[in-house]
Structure 1
Amino acid sequence: MEAVIHHPATGAAAFSPCSLPETLFSRRVSDLPRRSKPDISSFLSPPIPKTKPQNLRLSPQFLPSPSTSPSKRPLLDPPLTSEPSIKTDLPSNDYSHLLLLSARYGDVELAKAVHASIFKHEEDTYLSNALIVAYLKLGRIDFARRVFKNMSSPDVVSYTALISDLAKSNRENEAIELFLEMRGSGIEPNEHSFVALLTACIRLLNLELGLQVHAFVLKLDFLDSTYVVNALMGLYSNCGCLNFVIELFYDMPVRDIVSWNTVISSLVKKGMYDEAFESFRDMLRIDGLRVDHFTISSLLASAASAGRSGMTEGREIQSCAIKLGFESNLSVNNALIRFYTKRGSVDDVTLLFEMMPEKDVFTWTEMITAYMEFGLVDLAVETFDMMPDRTCESYNALLAGYCRNNKGLRALNLFCDMVEEGIELNDFTLTSAINACGSVMQKSTSEQIHAFILKFGCARNSHVEAALLDMCTWCERMADAENIFLRWPKDRERTIVLTAMICGYARNRQLDQAISLFCQGQSEESFVLDEVVATTMLSICGLLGFRKFGVQLHCFSTKYGLLNDTKMANATISMYAKCGQMEAAIKFFDAMLVHDTVSWNSLLAGHVLHRQGDEALAVWMKMESLGVQPDTVTCLFIISAYRYTGSDLIDCCHRFFSSMESRYQIKPTSEHYANLVGVLGHWGLLKEAEAIILKMHFVPKAAAWRALLDSCRVHQNAAIGKRVAKEILHVEPQDPSMFILKSNLYSASGRWHCSDTVREKMREKGLRKFPGQSWIIHQNRIHSFFARDTSHPQSKDIYSGLQILLLECLKAGYVPDTSFVLHEAEEHQKKDFLFYHSAKLAMTFGLLMTKPGKPVRIFKNILLCGDCHTFFKNVSVVTKREIYVRDSSGFHCFSNGKCSCKDQW
């Protein structure tokens, strides 16, 4: 497991200094002596120095000055903060006591008055330090620095107080510079100084400096200080170096609750939830410490993300919190809201929120996030409107929730309101707005957002720039996406943009480019194959029918444990089914430990694609017996399955359709009606199918009419076909396919001039027909063909072979059906158009390139035409070969002059 440091603002991986051993938790903490020091130097990189070797190199700024002694300074018993303690056992008229009172009651004027009185006397370093601390507590760092500058000999307390305040005030670099100034003046740091400096390192996630500080701490022998070690553990925890945290923890002479909390929270960050709970139990058993609210909050975060036991563990932690009196603690209740958001129900979250005695802005923000997670957008908005105070995070929660629930327009409107109201915009805000624009998929809007980001000056942020690239791919701006990709700095992490670009190519059906980029990424050491990329590539393999590549991805995913992701597993089922390997899809499904609705839908889709209606209905019966709740997609596949069963089951199909709303609370959509019409039309019930459309409770979409038109084509019913064509033209007059339909209707009736006029209008409007394409996979390469295509390097051989094949098929009884050529031409010209369809070219190439007796597998992006279907049946007789074709309707298997679809597709 790689320990990765993330930038605090962008989250981008920046440094990977150490690796986590697999056997780190082979022994429990309780099995080790409290002062045991296991030798783990073999896997620490760079190692934590345990001695003071002569060749240890420190940066010059950390070397002690000649005037100071390297001997260990006496340890104090400091408070948890790194501020110097102030004596409070003095009389009430003492200056230091007055300064303490001024800080306690926020009285700046009193502090100024005391300052003026002190100024009249000789310089007293102790009182000057008390002034600095008071001003810092009052939030007047300018006054504190003025006092500091006027001191003739500031000591370690003076420096440490300012370093600590700067580190906590988002001025970390100034804190580091002041520490270096202190070292340059010859003042040796104490444990408070180290804690303050490490605080700055933690906020900057500066591991390199932190390692130097660690070496300096070791040199001055401060590793016996619990507070310093806790700070070091905090640094390594935030930088993802869990092994460093564990090593320091084992070496501590005395552990406090902060030490244990750091270890537990580090384990939670690494996803080691069982180990986090085990450490919690060890803490109670070994050191007998009383847990605090931070312990409870970390454990609740662990329970929220844990596996099956998470809910039980979370309930136990909640009971523990109540027993210890934390039921009213604000941070614990906020953590409980997060826990029930992920593992409970909306009722649990709402009840907890209503019972909370105290709420802060984080509580309200967590409730917005919770409602959005449960899909209750209106309740989230209502909660947002009721908030007494709002922060940037509150707006971001609402913005991200809109995106998560596909409310892109509402998200963009909220973003515009934030800009107008002057709300702080951070990287998360901009990324959410970009994602919202991508979900809306409006090119003009995306260009405006893009321009705003460039003007805002955040386009060079890795996450923002990657989101811009992804937005461009959603909005059909592939040229802009490629420009962003090509400009990406070589020294910056590339996995995020490689992932976005691969998914973008796949989304825009540029599948060859997606595969090429994936292969290029595999040659780069920095590229990490995650579930998103693997799922996308499996989907591409399914679309292309690239079985061999899909099997390799399956093996790779198994090797690296990616198949534990359910989405990834579902994509694997779909890939095997679309590649014609239904048995492999079923085998993989049966091997899965957990199935969701999408898993079942993927299996159903595979059976329907292979025209296995009875098998699909058997899967549905198993789903019912297991109590799996269907969704809208499930119902689509179940209705489609009746197309491939038998006409005697039409009544069963009707009953299922009628029971969808009453039994499964799924209201039939236009797509469900289209599937039902397709089933009825398949069995020749054209009038009944037309009546179904006319009785729909909403205006039918073109999909339902298209399903009926396809059935009219198969059953050659011209009367109903003409009526249906007119309805389609009325519903979608601007659809390119409708222009083609209208042109074809004119052509079929011999009105060639009208047909040409329609096509001319298409060209004027810039509309293009989706071209028919066929392809075949040979020697791990995709060979694509269009109608009358001559671009293939072996086109001469392909056309010569096809000529021979046509002659043999004509002898065997093949009769070209020129009715499929809707162009004004002579009969012999129509045959030329017909003979060189893309599917025929792909099949001929397959016959030429595969061994005799081996099947030929062809893939086509649209429906196989009737003439090609007849031709392939004849080819299977002439060549004595099996020919598999996957078109938009499903799989065809041509063998011995017959097709598995029984001439109904």
Structure 2
Amino acid sequence: MATVLDSNSFTRFSSSYRFILSPSLFHNFFHCPLKPPQRPLTSLLHSTTTTLFTPLFKDSKSHHAHHSSASPIYVLPPSPQTYVSDSNPSSLSEASRDGDFSAALDSFVYGLFNLLRLSARHSDIELARAVHASVVKLEEDTYLGNALIVAYLKLGLFSDAYNVFLDLSSPDVVSYTALISGFSKSNREDTALELFLHMRNSGIEPNEYSFVAILTACIRIMHLDLGLQIHNLAIKMGFLDSAFVANALMGLYSNCGYYDVVFKLFGEMRERDIASWNTVIAAAVKESMHDAALQLFRDMQATDAFKIDYFTLSTLLTACVESVAVMEGKQVHAHAIKAGFESNLSVGNTLVGFYTKCGTVDDVVSLFERMTVRDVITWTEMVTAYMEFGLVDSALRIFGEMPEKNPVSYNALLSGFCQNGEGLKALQLFLKLVEHRVELTDFSLTSIISACSLLADYRVSKQIHGFVLKFGFGPNVCIEAALLDMYTRCGRMEDAKKMFCRWQLKEGRSVAWTSMLCGYARNGQPDEGILLIQHSQLEGTMIMDEIAFSSMLGLCGVIGCHELGKQIHCHVIKLGFEFDVGVGNAVISMYFKCWNVDDAIKMFHNMPKTDIVSWNALITGHILHRLGDRALEIWSNMQKEGIRPDEITFVLVISAYRLSNLNLVDDCRDLFHSMRTVYGIEPTSEHYAAFISVLGYWGLLEEAEEIINKMPFEPTASVWRTLLDSCRLHKNTIIGKRVAKQIISLEPKDPSTYVLIANLYSASGRWHCSEEIRENMREDGFRKHPAQSWIISQKNMHSFYARDRSHPQAKDIYRGLEILIMECMKVGYVPDTSFVLHEVEEFQKKEFLFHHSAKLAATYGLLTSKHGKPVRIVKNILLCGDCHTFLKFVSIVTKRDIFLRDSSGFHYFSGGLCSCKDYW
């Protein structure tokens, strides 16, 4: 009965040949020391053995020659034509006498192939070396040499594989291709490229597997130039019709960012497999063409020959996450269930990420509990999910239950703390990581730098910077950008400026430039930000990408620099960025903040695509202009068009009720309660603060206080501060005093708290209490953020502080202000000294009042602008009552309109009236 040799039968087979070979020859043949082959086998064997086997080896090359040209990289041994029985030694002798010994040797060689396969499958290096030792006793066989190369490559023995290759007198395309493929996948891409060139110079033509192998090397080292040459060679040799080669080319162009070429190649393919579809879908996702990716999936489904796999589903879910395509993502989930892939670990992990972004925490938890197989990625995704939903305690719990943790897990916890404003917890965790010598990555350092930004602690920021320098990460865009942002958030603008000026990383220039702009705006230095933009324009170094445009437009909005904002908008249109949703949203916000409501609305309607941020910007703009009823109409349109609101939307809409011309408190109550029941959004501190503001506006202070006391979580200082401000407006010191105690207990070191309380006492005439508050501030070393007003004149920003005489034209400004005050007093203006927080003589109080920053800015604007043109002023904090009254009288005596934007919104002063109706 015929027998195919395996590892056991090989042992029996070798023993059957002992009658042919002498004992010494047998020992040398099967038990020689392991060493790389140095020369052909015939020179190693004794002459008698050589004579015996020579007839059998004459045709060994030709016997296997038909395999070498068409075989793939993974060499398969030929099946022997005749199988030799291992149970009857005499039959072997008889076979040899009859000239059938070559068939027996074929079976022997086939056994060697099987053993090489077993060695690779079971990672048995010793077995592979033993087979190699046996092979060197035979006459050279390229096919058997190729099998050795493949086995050694699979075992990770690249030097051994290469040595076998070097000892082949006539390596073929399979020999080269096996090595090129192995080296391409093991960080030896340069060697793979050299081998491919050597193969071409040797006159050996590549096959389709050779093309795939060399393209793999090009993909790994992003060698596009060589990839283009390989592409041309594939066309010339007619291999572009191979799906394998076309897929590899698409992978190269996709990795190098040439997605249009990927789509072109895909469209020209005669035959496609599932890898072709997966590659083009992945390319569409990388290019943020999420709708196209989903359409490709539908086209793929329409082709009966193809079925989805786990990679298809994972890629599509990524597209749904990035585009927040909730319904499409759920449809992909349904496909996963139908195709039996929901239990796949990769798909399950991607689904957790999808529902984290596009679902609820219950969706994520339910999915996690159904997963029968979990890995460290699954658990880390759950930590990230809880952090995304603001459930820090739950994230800590799941982190503690993790059976295995890696640096990514710790980074998820670290960044989650930062994301939820828990800078101190992030710092404490980081110290533990350092203490226990957990591996730190650049992401770890970026996160802890962000934590320092949250803490805004100068001393801690210096220590962390020192640690980063000592750690020696070298030039790193993410870390350097995080450090620069940390400087700006800690108020270290001089240090930030020095770092920016010596910035060496070209690829991070845009991020650094943007950080400086935001830093200037954040630290009350918007004029420096405008100078940076103008300086960059003159030098031709202005950054022009989506992030930079959004930042510049944002700064123009903060300052109210309308002309510069329009110029930047022109650049946006010229460079084609008007189709970017983020930039479009920044344009909308800029125009609203620069008094240009019409262009803001026009921009919204002209945008080819909008998102929830666009709608929020539209509502915000109308709220800034105190157009509450119009903001509520936009909210109604959103509901009609099926636009899903987010948390910010509800904060804005609730705020719009306060600005409505009608008392819509009942409607506001209904909306506040429907957030949870209808939209599944839990009210946060911001929602409560907005709702308290509405109740306070209509004088429902007792109800507002009761709602705060019944909040399901601890009220923040911002919620209490909203009620305190309402108490000031209604001069209710009884509730105000209770509220003040709550705020001080929560934020004992916040200067704005003391200012609010002092204002409350001053407004009710309790000067001794107000002065006590101010004295406490001085004793504790607190300083409130100074009031600043500015005006844009002749494309330059002119800023003023109270009693500021630093302006070059200060003398003219103060003289003009004196005249203006006297003219206003003639028509009824009476200075309101109750807003002066100093216990001084009455004439001194008036002196303080007369030189507030808003009055100085208004005077400068009137002196430098054309007659009949409105004066536009921006103030960084709330406008005081006396300045508000003064500007109403100024609009009478000058017959000029005055537009002022403060922290509460816009004031339009015209003919002695204000658009805020004296309530802000």
Deviations 1:634-660 (A, max 9, x none): 666666666656797778878888998
What is the CA-CA distance between 1:202 and the residue it aligns to?
A: 0.9
Moved more, 802-811 or 384-393: 384-393
Match of 2:149 among 116, 132, 145: 132
Please state if 1:780 is matched with 2:795: yes
Residue number among 304, 313, 320 corresponding to 1:304 in the alignment = 320
* 3-state secondary structure, aligned to 1:130: helix
Q: Does 1:233 align with 2:250?
A: yes
Query: Larger radius of gyration, structure 1 or 2?
Result: 2
Establish whether residue 461 from structure 1 lines up as the match of residue 476 from structure 2: yes
Question: Contact 1:884 / 1:892 at 8 angstroms: preserved in 2?
Answer: yes
**CA gap 1:662/1:338 in 2 versus in 1, 3 angstroms:** closer
> 1:115 — aligned with what?
132
Amino acid paired to 2:185? K
In 1, the alpha carbon distance for the partners of 2:672 and 2:345 equals 51
Decide whether the 8 Å contact of 1:92 with 1:98 is kept in 2: no
What amino acid maps onto 2:901 in structure 1?
R
2:166 & 2:600 partners in 1: Cα distance?
75
Give the equivalent residue in structure 2 for 1:34. Answer: none
Q: Alpha carbons of 1:488 and 1:102: their partners in 2 closer, same or farther (altered >3 Å)?
A: same
Higher relative contact order (Cα pairs below 8 Å, separated by 6+ residues): 1
TM-score with structure 1 setting the length:
0.74
Note closer, same or farther for the CA distance 1:84–1:740 as it changes in structure 2 (3 Å cut).
Answer: same
Answer with 520-529 or 392-401: which moved more. 520-529
Q: Distance in 2 between matches of 1:329 and 1:669?
A: 36
User: Which residue of the partner structure matches residue 562 of structure 2?
Assistant: 547
Q: Which residue of 2 aligns with 1:508?
A: 523
Number of the residue aligned with 2:810:
795
RMSD across aligned positions (CA): 5.2
User: Aligned equivalents of 1:715 and 1:400: distance in 2?
Assistant: 43
| Residue 13 (structure 2) aligns with | none
The amino acid that maps onto 1:97 is N
SS of residue in 1 equivalent to 2:107: coil
Q: Secondary structure at the match of 2:805?
A: coil
Q: Please tell me whether residue 203 in structure 1 is matched to residue 235 in structure 2.
A: no
Identify the residue that residue 882 of structure 2 maps to in structure 1: 867
Question: What per-residue deviation string (whole Å, max 9, x for no partner) do you get for residues 530-579 of structure 1?
Answer: 55444444443333233344455556656777666666565555444433
The unaligned stretches of length 5 or more in structure 2 are: 1-65, 81-105
CA distance change for structure 1 residues 715 and 751 in 2, over 3 Å: closer, same or farther? closer
Q: Which residue of 2 aligns with 1:245?
A: 262
Q: Deviations over 1:436-485 (max 9, x none)?
A: 55455555554444444333433412333333333443444444443443
**Matches of 2:353 and 2:756 in 1, distance apart?**
55
Note the residue ranges of structure 1 that are not aligned, 5 or more in a row: 1-72
Letter in 1 for 2:312: I
Mark the CA change 1:160 to 1:390 in structure 2 (over 3 Å): closer, same or farther: farther
Shift of 1:201: 1.7
The reply on whether 1:843 has 2:858 as its aligned counterpart is yes
Query: C-alpha distance in 2, partners of 1:775/1:691?
Result: 40
Q: Helix, strand or coil for the counterpart of 1:894?
A: strand
Give me the whole-angstrom Cα distance separating, in 2, the residues matched to 1:697 and 1:268: 41
Q: Deviations over 1:847-899 (max 9, x none)?
A: 12222222222222233334333332332222222222333344333333344
Q: Corresponding residue for 2:819?
A: 804
- Work out the CA distance in 2 between the residues paired with 1:337 and 1:78: 43
- Equivalent pair of 2:791/2:873 in contact (CA under 8 Å): yes
Distance (whole Å) between structure 1 residues aligned to residue 316 and residue 591 of structure 2: 40
Deviation at residue 840 of structure 1 after TM alignment? 1.7
Partner of 1:66: none
State the alpha-carbon separation in 2 of the partners of residues 535 and 765 from structure 1. Answer: 40
What does residue range 608-623 of structure 1 map to in structure 2 within 5 Å? 608-612=623-627, 615=630
| 1:91 matched to 2:107 | yes
Question: Mean Cα displacement is larger for which, 717-726 or 801-810?
Answer: 717-726
Return closer, same or farther for 1:528/1:270 CA change in 2, 3 Å cut-off: farther
How do 1:640-655 and structure 2 match up within 5 A? none
Distance in 1 separating the partners of 2:681 and 2:264: 56
2:871 counterpart (856, 861, 874): 856
On the 8 A contact 2:294/2:316 being kept in 1, the answer is no
Q: Cα–Cα, structure 1 residues 250 and 87, in superposed 2: closer, same or farther, change >3 Å?
A: farther
Name the CA shift for 1:78/1:301 in 2 (closer, same or farther; >3 Å). farther
The CA deviation at 1:239 is 0.9
Tell me what 1:45 maps to. none
Q: Per-residue displacement from partner, 1:42-71 (whole Å, max 9, x unpaired)?
A: xxxxxxxxxxxxxxxxxxxxxxxxxxxxxx
Q: Report the 3-state secondary structure (helix = DSSP H, G, I; strand = E; otherwise coil) of the residue aligned with 1:98.
A: helix
Please list, as runs of the form range in 1=range in 2, the aligned pairs for 1:238-387 lying within 5 A after superposition.
238-246=255-263, 248=265, 256-276=273-293, 289-291=305-307, 293=309, 296-297=312-313, 300-301=316-317, 304=320, 311-312=327-328, 315=331, 319=335, 322=338
Offset of residue 207 of structure 1: 1.7
Label 1:755 to 1:381 Cα distance change in 2 as closer, same or farther (>3 A).
closer
- Counterpart residue identity of residue 201, structure 1: C
Deviation, 1:783, is 1.7
Q: Check whether the contact 2:565–2:590 (CA below 8 A) recurs between aligned residues.
A: yes
Does structure 1 retain, via aligned residues, the 8 Å contact 2:481–2:508? Answer: no
Q: Deviations over 1:221-266 (max 9, x none)?
A: 7656654444333212211223443555566676555445433433
What letter corresponds to residue 515 of structure 1 in structure 2?
A: I
Question: Which moves more between the two structures, 626-635 or 840-849?
Answer: 626-635
Partner of 2:184: 167
CA 717–88 in structure 1, closer or farther in 2 if over 3 Å, else same? same
Cα contact 2:477–2:505 (8 A) shared by 1: no
**CA–CA separation in structure 2 for the residues paired with 1:232 and 1:466:** 35
**CA distance in 2 between partners of 1:256 and 1:378 (Å):** 47
Residue identity matched to 2:884: H
Amino acid at match of 1:137: K
Identity fraction in percent? 55
SS in 1 for 2:179: helix
Q: 1:172 to 1:465 in 2, by over 3 A?
A: farther
Q: Is the 8 A contact 1:498 1:521 kept in 2?
A: no
Contact 2:324/2:358 (8 A) holds in 1: no
Q: 1:803 to 1:74 in 2, by over 3 A?
A: farther
Asked if 1:102 is matched to 2:122, the reply is no
Secondary structure, counterpart of 1:166 in structure 2? helix
Mark the CA change 1:189 to 1:467 in structure 2 (over 3 Å): closer, same or farther. farther
Cα distance in 2 for partners of 1:686, 1:330 equals: 54
Question: Which secondary structure does the structure 2 equivalent of 1:91 belong to?
Answer: helix
Amino acid in structure 1 at the alignment position of 2:859: T
Number of corresponding residues? 827
Cα gap change, 1:506/1:321 in structure 2, threshold over 3 Å: closer, same or farther? same
Residue of structure 2 equivalent to 1:4: none
Q: Quick one: distance in 2 between partners of 1:894 and 1:564? A: 37
Change (3 A) 1:628 1:200: closer
- Higher mean alpha-carbon deviation, 557-566 vs 472-481, is at 557-566
Question: Contact between 1:647 and 1:683, CA under 8 Å: does it hold in 2?
Answer: no
